[in-house]
Chains A and B, each alone.
Chain A
Amino acid sequence: MPKVTFLPDNITVEVAQGENLLRAAMAAEVHISATCGGRGVCGKCRVIVEDSEGWREGGLPSRANSKVEHDGNPQRQDPELGLISNSYGNLTEEEIQKGYRLACLCTVEGDVTVRIPVEARRGEREVLERLKEAAAYGVMLTEEDVASLVKGVTVDPAVKKVYLEVAKPDLANNADDLTRLRQAAKAAGYKELEVDFLTLTNLSEVLREQDFKVTATFLKDHHNLHLVRVEPGDTTKSNLGVAFDIGTTTLFVQLLDLNTGEALSSASDYNPQISFGEDVITRIIYSLKGDGLKKLQETATKAFMKLATEALEKAKRKSEEISLVSAAGNTTMAHLFLGVSPKNIRQEPYIPVVTHWPHIRPQEIGISNLASGSQVFMVPGRASYVGGDITAGVLASGMYNSDKLTLYIDVGTNGEIVLGNKEWLMTCACSAGPAFEGGSIKHGMRATIGAIEQVRINWEDHEPMILTIGNKPPAGLCGSGLIDSLAELFLAKVIDPRGKFHKNLETKRVREGKSGWEYVLAEKEMAATDYDITITEVDIDNLMRAKAAVYAGITTLLDNVGVGVDQVEEFFIAGGFGHYLELDKAIIIGMFPQIEGSKVKFLGNGSLMGARLAAISAEMADITHQIANKMTYLELSVDPAFMERYTAALFLPHTEVSRFPMVEKLMLQS
């Protein structure tokens, strides 16, 4: 891997070939001013190339003799160099000759040494030393890793298509159509069928359309085998499933090939129910008024169809090919998706209508254009505030089958936590609110293109260094950008440990705006928006509450079981973060206890992964029922100790800073 050395600090990092130079600086904790999110517009991220692999006599090529157009399409030039400028931005010819480059427009191809000129440093920042014993980032799991977590998954979905050649009737074999179909199925190993009446209405035509060659769809449901569909000819190739994660804030679908288990495409969007309320409680209240429940359900099913259609289009497939939907959501979202009143979830003793749902026909909930006989499988939940999304996550993490003491944390709107191993599971929910998904944050957004996902703030002059997803003009802040911002504002002493701005700083970035005090991350000139992108004191307050709830939940659960955080052998963190939830930033703000990076695995969307496993394997779907039954639920709302832990955590990093030795050390540096 190429090495990048930053002068004058003389800090070297190894990065993957092709890494963006500004991201390399971020990884090295070297501060370079960068306010346009890394798209070459602000011109602040200047560096001077001092040495570069393959350095040629005569210095770097100038614009005059390179193929790079000033404004034209970026085009790689001079592949021998360790550093490649994809464009020079607004640098002058003279500057280019002198070796100036814009870091955000450069990719690292080989070993390179760059100097950060004084104007880009703007005040010395002590180099924030990341603790070596804690890998800064934890491990972001890949598809293959996830596959290896849950051992022994074989693609064997509950809904299967089987090609059958049914015996032709004649005067000697005059058994009825269904009987002959049963015989063919039996010969293929599908015995004792329960037959869906609807398959019979046109069975005679279907059988005869392609000379008694048909494809039968079977649904395995606990111990029974149902015949749910018969099609003419061989359509076994077209058996699709959809995994659906019904988040309070965000919806995800993934289109699956049920024959191979492969994910074909995916789509996601905000849950449009948000317009009826940001959290589950307000939505429950809405559902109780007039036709509120119906409206919420329609909104959910429509949103599902829209996302499914998007995924189908991407994969060039048709909705009639979908024979199974496997959905996971928190208990309220599940009720609302199915149009079942969540009324009693809200009030003590918090009772849902159902946690283990029967198989559902899509038509029964207003979804009509899937394959006839298709099914909706709902991943079962445990309680009103620990739903199928968590069961699914526990499945995907493999912790239900692990010898190691594991802590699973889902940082969604409701922040659920599960502790245990293959012997036992204990769970609780702490209402974190939608802040980590960009909800209830003035300029919050989902982790999509243009979202600010990494932030550094200079300790001297309080200038930011920001990076957006896709290096596009900043449009808002996603969860990881928010966590970064909070940690950085705190370490740079822009806010106090309660999250209140220090108002006497010499910087224009801290100001009193329309909605109170705020820090300007990106001026509108640099942003994709026609307003400045800021993080306000109210946003910070919401983040503080969210992180305090998560921390208090974790510690309450651990204390109830009587284990210390050091005894936990493995941590899974799930949630809709971008690629960059920096573990140490989450520890700096006191959201997670100080845990060793090497024990941490980022699962991404655990709910979606679990829903997918349950779609492609009937056995996994069965296991979700076992997991849900195995979880012991701890109700935090009746635990007075939780409230006190919460207040203690409403502080950066925590009222008891000694619990965070790493942060204590950093605070001394800053």
Chain B
Amino acid sequence: MPVETVKETYTGKVREVVLGSGEGEVKVGGQTTMPFYTFEGDMPNKPKIAMEVYDETEEWSDWAKEPFADVIDDPPSWAKKCQDTYKTDMVTLQLRSTDPNGSNTSADDAAETTKKVLDAIDIPLIVMGSGNIEKDQEVLKKVAEVAHGKNIAIGPAQEDNYKAIAAAAMAYNHKVIAQSPVDINIAKQLNILITQLGVSADNIIMDPTTGALGYGLEYTYTIMERLRLAALQQNDDMTNMPIICDLGLETWKTKEAKVGVDEEPTWGDPKTRAITWEAVTANSLMMAGADILVMRHPEAIKLVRNIIDSLS
């Protein structure tokens, strides 16, 4: 007897957001079904990889630096390598050095770096500040200004600084990344607040705050899944933005990705371990509904790509 597949039907749709400009435009979101459930609805755009480029890599382990050894001190070349060699869909520029509790480089420096990176690539750019409430407002405003016309995404816009960051994005026609602290209500509230400022809901990307494997991944997973279900099942137009997961930074911060054999001799080869950690985290988040995966290591990316291709 033939088994009939049970199918859900959804009334909602994830907003399709376009990043980048001209030839380099990339679309994310737009699906009418849960991740890879293409038998229930459409998934016009596969999850996209946005490889990280840093303006500072002081605490990195050797195996993290290895693929980028030749470009590590030059963000534009690093970005170009990601585009040309690793064929990333987008680039994420992580402005760690602007952190006032760290190197505290100026907003002007950050804008300068952004400009150079933009000049080096054709694919879309995402710029993430250090997460410092005050400093990010200043930095991202300058970044938005120099990137005018490039349709980049800037963030993270948080509850306490979303006004300045969303205003900067709006003024220079960029997308804004709304970051909520692993809380479905705050995620939605932030979207409402940002749209009330006049930003179109089609210019928002949600960052639910990513926990790496072993460090709260399950919380992020649940929140993402619920956001997606609210969008698809309840047609909620304030939770139906594409989701970005800033997982490279979170994964490579973990002990499992950082410590060497000397410290943990029974944990196996540190490089394989770190890459696996990143790939597993990315894969799980993708299953929860991530539209953009911010990732670090080319080999982890290769693993995730394989999965994307085999599922779609």
A648 touching B196, Cβ below 8 Å? no
Instruction: Name which of B12-20, B34-42, B50-58, B187-195 contacts chain A.
Output: B187-195
Chain B nearest Cβ from A499, distance in angstroms = 11
B259 at the interface (CB under 8 A from A): no
Q: Chain B interface secondary structure, helix, strand, loop or mixed?
A: helix
A142 at the interface (CB under 8 A from B): no
A578 at the interface (CB under 8 A from B): no
B185 touching A497, Cβ below 8 Å? no
A498 at the interface (CB under 8 A from B): yes
Contacts of B185 in A (CB 8 A): 644, 647-648, 650-651, 655
Contacts of B184 in A (CB 8 A): 644
B196 touching A497, Cβ below 8 Å? yes
B196 touching A498, Cβ below 8 Å? no
B218 at the interface (CB under 8 A from A): no
A496 touching B193, Cβ below 8 Å? yes
A498 touching B188, Cβ below 8 Å? no
User: How many residues does chain B have at the interface if contact means C-beta atoms less than 8 Å apart?
Assistant: 10
Question: Quick one: closest A residue to B190, CB to CB?
Answer: A498
A647 touching B196, Cβ below 8 Å? no
B122 at the interface (CB under 8 A from A): no
B299 at the interface (CB under 8 A from A): no
Q: How far is the CA of A251 from the CA of B184 in the complex (A)?
A: 41
Q: How far is the CA of A657 from the CA of B188 in the complex (A)?
A: 11
Q: How far is the CA of A234 from the CA of B183 in the complex (A)?
A: 71
B250 at the interface (CB under 8 A from A): no
Chain B nearest Cβ from A285, distance in angstroms = 30
B109 at the interface (CB under 8 A from A): no
B183 touching A498, Cβ below 8 Å? no
B186 touching A647, Cβ below 8 Å? yes
Q: How far is the CA of A496 from the CA of B192 in the complex (A)?
A: 10
Chain B nearest Cβ from A607, distance in angstroms = 33
B202 at the interface (CB under 8 A from A): no
B159 at the interface (CB under 8 A from A): yes
Contacts of A644 in B (CB 8 A): 184-185
Q: How far is the CA of A497 from the CA of B189 in the complex (A)?
A: 8
Q: How far is the CA of A647 from the CA of B223 in the complex (A)?
A: 14
In chain B between 174 and 227, which residues have their CB closer than 8 angstroms to a CB of chain A? Answer: 183-186, 188-189, 192-193, 196
A497 touching B192, Cβ below 8 Å? yes
Contacts of A498 in B (CB 8 A): 159, 189, 193
Q: How far is the CA of A669 from the CA of B56 in the complex (A)?
A: 50
Q: How far is the CA of A508 from the CA of B293 in the complex (A)?
A: 46
B193 touching A497, Cβ below 8 Å? yes
Chain A nearest Cβ from B173, distance in angstroms = 21
In chain B between 123 and 180, which residues have their CB closer than 8 angstroms to a CB of chain A? Answer: 159
Contacts of A496 in B (CB 8 A): 193, 196
In chain A between 615 and 670, which residues have their CB closer than 8 angstroms to a CB of chain B? Answer: 644, 647-648, 650-651, 655, 657
Chain A nearest Cβ from B204, distance in angstroms = 16
Q: How far is the CA of A650 from the CA of B159 in the complex (A)?
A: 13
Chain B nearest Cβ from A588, distance in angstroms = 16
Q: How far is the CA of A648 from the CA of B184 in the complex (A)?
A: 9
Question: Quick one: closest B residue to A651, CB to CB?
Answer: B189
Q: How far is the CA of A496 from the CA of B188 in the complex (A)?
A: 14
**Interface code A525-550, partner B: CB below 8 Å = 1, 0 otherwise?**
00000000000000000000000000
Q: How far is the CA of A496 from the CA of B162 in the complex (A)?
A: 12
Chain A nearest Cβ from B276, distance in angstroms = 33
Q: How far is the CA of A651 from the CA of B192 in the complex (A)?
A: 10
Cβ contact of A655, chosen from B159, B188, B196, cutoff 8 A? B188
Chain A nearest Cβ from B254, distance in angstroms = 27
Chain A nearest Cβ from B29, distance in angstroms = 22
Question: Quick one: closest B residue to A647, CB to CB?
Answer: B185
Q: How far is the CA of A651 from the CA of B184 in the complex (A)?
A: 13
Q: How far is the CA of A650 from the CA of B186 in the complex (A)?
A: 9
B183 touching A647, Cβ below 8 Å? yes
Question: Quick one: closest A residue to B183, CB to CB?
Answer: A647
**Interface code A112-128, partner B: CB below 8 Å = 1, 0 otherwise?**
00000000000000000
Contacts of B159 in A (CB 8 A): 498
Chain B nearest Cβ from A470, distance in angstroms = 39
Q: How far is the CA of A657 from the CA of B237 in the complex (A)?
A: 12
Contacts of B193 in A (CB 8 A): 496-498
Q: How far is the CA of A497 from the CA of B195 in the complex (A)?
A: 12
Q: How far is the CA of A50 from the CA of B189 in the complex (A)?
A: 48
**Interface code A470-512, partner B: CB below 8 Å = 1, 0 otherwise?**
0000000000000000000000000011100000000000000
Q: How far is the CA of A650 from the CA of B185 in the complex (A)?
A: 9
Q: How far is the CA of A651 from the CA of B190 in the complex (A)?
A: 10
Question: Quick one: closest B residue to A503, CB to CB?
Answer: B163
Chain B nearest Cβ from A504, distance in angstroms = 9
Contacts of B196 in A (CB 8 A): 496-497
Q: How far is the CA of A498 from the CA of B194 in the complex (A)?
A: 12
Chain A nearest Cβ from B227, distance in angstroms = 12
Contacts of A497 in B (CB 8 A): 189, 192-193, 196
Chain A nearest Cβ from B46, distance in angstroms = 31
Best-surrounded residue of A648, A655, A657 (most CB of chain B within 10 A): A655
Q: How far is the CA of A650 from the CA of B180 in the complex (A)?
A: 14
Q: How far is the CA of A47 from the CA of B112 in the complex (A)?
A: 61
Q: How far is the CA of A644 from the CA of B219 in the complex (A)?
A: 14
Contacts of B183 in A (CB 8 A): 647
Contacts of B186 in A (CB 8 A): 647
Q: How far is the CA of A657 from the CA of B159 in the complex (A)?
A: 19
Q: How far is the CA of A452 from the CA of B185 in the complex (A)?
A: 33
Contacts of A650 in B (CB 8 A): 185, 189
Contacts of B188 in A (CB 8 A): 655
Contacts of A657 in B (CB 8 A): 192
Best-surrounded residue of B183, B184, B185, B193 (most CB of chain A within 10 A): B185
Chain A nearest Cβ from B166, distance in angstroms = 12
Chain A nearest Cβ from B64, distance in angstroms = 36
Q: How far is the CA of A595 from the CA of B267 in the complex (A)?
A: 60
Contacts of A651 in B (CB 8 A): 185, 189, 192
Q: How far is the CA of A648 from the CA of B186 in the complex (A)?
A: 8
Question: Quick one: closest A residue to B160, CB to CB?
Answer: A500
Contacts of A647 in B (CB 8 A): 183, 185-186
Q: How far is the CA of A26 from the CA of B193 in the complex (A)?
A: 30
Question: Quick one: closest B residue to A648, CB to CB?
Answer: B185
**Interface code B96-112, partner A: CB below 8 Å = 1, 0 otherwise?**
00000000000000000
Q: How far is the CA of A651 from the CA of B186 in the complex (A)?
A: 9
Chain A nearest Cβ from B209, distance in angstroms = 15
Chain A nearest Cβ from B145, distance in angstroms = 20
Chain B nearest Cβ from A555, distance in angstroms = 13
Q: How far is the CA of A443 from the CA of B214 in the complex (A)?
A: 48
Q: How far is the CA of A655 from the CA of B185 in the complex (A)?
A: 7
Chain A nearest Cβ from B208, distance in angstroms = 14
Q: How far is the CA of A283 from the CA of B207 in the complex (A)?
A: 42
Q: How far is the CA of A507 from the CA of B143 in the complex (A)?
A: 32
Q: How far is the CA of A242 from the CA of B192 in the complex (A)?
A: 52
Q: How far is the CA of A647 from the CA of B193 in the complex (A)?
A: 15
Q: How far is the CA of A648 from the CA of B239 in the complex (A)?
A: 14
Q: How far is the CA of A647 from the CA of B196 in the complex (A)?
A: 20
Q: How far is the CA of A497 from the CA of B188 in the complex (A)?
A: 12
In chain A between 365 and 383, which residues have their CB closer than 8 angstroms to a CB of chain B? Answer: none
Chain B nearest Cβ from A668, distance in angstroms = 12
Chain A nearest Cβ from B40, distance in angstroms = 25
Question: Quick one: closest B residue to A504, CB to CB?
Answer: B163
Q: How far is the CA of A348 from the CA of B185 in the complex (A)?
A: 28
Chain B nearest Cβ from A589, distance in angstroms = 15
Write 6 A-B pairs (CB below 8 A) sorted by A numbering.
Answer: A497-B189, A497-B192, A644-B184, A644-B185, A651-B192, A655-B185
Q: Which chain B residues have a beta carbon within 8 Å of chain A's beta carbons?
A: 159, 183-186, 188-189, 192-193, 196
- 3 shortest A-B CB distances, which residue pairs? A647-B185, A648-B185, A655-B185
Other 16 A-B pairs with CB < 8 A, given A496-B196, A650-B185, A655-B185: A496-B193, A497-B189, A497-B192, A497-B193, A497-B196, A498-B159, A498-B193, A644-B184, A644-B185, A647-B183, A647-B185, A647-B186, A651-B189, A651-B192, A655-B192, A657-B192
Q: Which chain A residues have a beta carbon within 8 Å of chain B's beta carbons?
A: 496-498, 644, 647-648, 650-651, 655, 657
